[in-house]
Structure formats: C-alpha cells, structure tokens
Amino acid sequence: MQRYFASIDQNYFVHLTADDEHHVLHVMRMKKGDEIEVVDNQKLFLCRLDNTNPLTISMIHEIASDVEISEDVTLLFALTKGDKIDLVLQKATELGVKKVALIESERTVVKYDNKDLEKKSLRFKKIMKEASEQSHRLIVPEFLGIYNLKQLPKEAFSDLNYVAYEKDASKVNESFEGLKKGKSISILIGPEGGFSEQEINEVTKLGFIRTSLGKRILRAETAAIYALSVLGYLLENEKAL
C-alpha cells in the first residue's frame, strides 16, 4: 500500500503535497474507495479516497507502528564525489538514521557554492522523504546541512560520538566502545582520502571516540552503510548489547 507523509486536519481530511497528489492521481491512478497509508506527526493512519475530483481523502483509523530505532542516530558524512551522497542518504534513511549532516574536511574534493547549496539540499531532502516512504518509516530524517569539520553545529553531537578511523581497523573488538541503550549516537565518516591525523586529534578533543569498522578498508559510502547497519543491529537486537 502506498504511503505518504501528509497532514490530517481536525475534520480528519488528509492534505497531501502537490507532488504526492499528482502521484496518487496520475502515477498510481487511484480511484474513489482506494486506500493509502498516511504518516502525520510520527503516527500512521489508514486513509481512503472519498473523491478524485477534487481529490478528497479521509482518515479512517490509526495503525499501530513501531519501526523507529529508539535511540537517535546521527550520520556525519564527509562530502564524496559523484552520486555516492545520494546513495548514502537513501541507505541511511532505510537504516533508521534520524539526522544527517554533510561534512567538508581537509581532503574533501567536492565543493558546493551557495547557489548549489539550496538546490542540493532540496534534492537531498526529497531522496530521504522517498526513502522514508519506501521503508515505511514514521519520520523523514532531518538534513542538518553542510558544515566544515572545524565548525560542527551542536545538533551534530549526541550522547556518544564516534569517528570511524581506518587506522584503528585492527581494533575490531573495541568497535563502538561504550555503546549502550538509551544513548543517542553520532557517527562521523571521512572522505575518499580519509581524515588527517590532525583532524582525528581535533575531533577526539571534541569528544569523538575512534572506532574500527572492521579489518578491511571500506569506501566512504560502504563505511557509512556498514556503520549504520552495525549500530541498528546492536541497538535493535535486545541480546546484542
């Protein structure tokens, strides 16, 4: 069943975005009586099309849903080339991330000027909205923006902050040291060229804990997906922690 993020008013009428109205009517070609799922304010509802011209949708009842990771996970992902960022935003959303910031560091080669920024941000948010709908999540992760590693906003920090450092690859059994239920987590992943020693020292001073992501050197996008997969498993599997 199709799922959309929308708002439901006090008369139980559903208000979709223009894009989603178009999707319902002209892509899915839905008819009167068809049903959709709507997420409003992190709650899930079954809704039905009362009419298609004009499009009128009513909420029928709430559906119990428990799909989110209890702890907030924030991904801090260094800017990488090509469409790797799109891939990482989509996979991070499926893997339950709550917030994402893109990071400029000494060795990031991708540079966005202000003109680009607005357009890119809109695209990134669209990717995460669609991935949230596809993965049946109750929230769309928040895109915090693009920040220099030396100027991380306070929203980038969590109770526990980890920096994936490949020089610690061999210390697999110390991965995500101190991780525990009920604590929010930030995970910082470097660019294709990695972080410099100085950058690692600087973020360590800010409270980031170095962590291994296994014995092999992963591409940045693989590292992000792997880290979020491991965190999701550890946090959602009662027996794991």
Q: Give the C-alpha separation, 233 to 86, whole Å.
A: 23
3-state secondary structure of 31: coil
DSSP per-residue codes, 108-168 = ------HHHHHHHHHHHHHHHHHHHHHTT-SSPPEEEEEEEGGG--GGG--SEEEEE-GGG
Angstrom CA distances, 67 to 4, 29, 96, 135, 139, stand at: 16, 28, 8, 9, 10
Nearer to ligand SAM (CB atom), residue 36 or residue 225: 225
Residue nearest to ligand SAM (CB): 190
Size of the site for ligand SAM (CB under 6 A): 19
Per-residue x/- track, 111-140, ligand SAM (CB under 6 A): ------------------------------
| The 3-5 sheet, strands edge to edge | 3-5, 35-40, 43-52, 55-63
Contacts of 6 (CB under 8 A, 6+ apart): 14, 15, 16, 17, 20, 38, 39, 40
- Judged by CB under 6 A, does residue 194 bind ligand SAM? yes
Kindly identify the residues of this chain, within the stretch 153-182, that bind ligand SAM according to CB under 6 A.
164-166, 169
* Least separation in angstroms between CB 204 and ligand SAM: 13
Total number of residues shown for the chain: 241
Q: What is the largest CA-CA distance in the chain?
A: 62
- Judged by CB under 6 A, does residue 232 bind ligand SAM? no
3-state secondary structure of 210: strand
- Judged by CB under 6 A, does residue 220 bind ligand SAM? yes
Piece of the chain touching ligand SAM by CB under 6 A; list 8-16, 31-39, 115-123, 219-227: 219-227
- Judged by CB under 6 A, does residue 231 bind ligand SAM? no
Instruction: Say if residues 132 and 65 touch (Cβ distance below 8 Å).
Output: no
* Least separation in angstroms between CB 192 and ligand SAM: 5
Nearer to ligand SAM (CB atom), residue 58 or residue 229: 229
Nearer to ligand SAM (CB atom), residue 195 or residue 208: 195
Among 39, 179, 190, 208, binds ligand SAM (CB under 6 A): 190
Per-residue x/- track, 31-60, ligand SAM (CB under 6 A): ------------------------------
Binding residues vs ligand SAM (CB under 6 A): 164-166, 169, 189-190, 192-195, 212-214, 216-220, 223
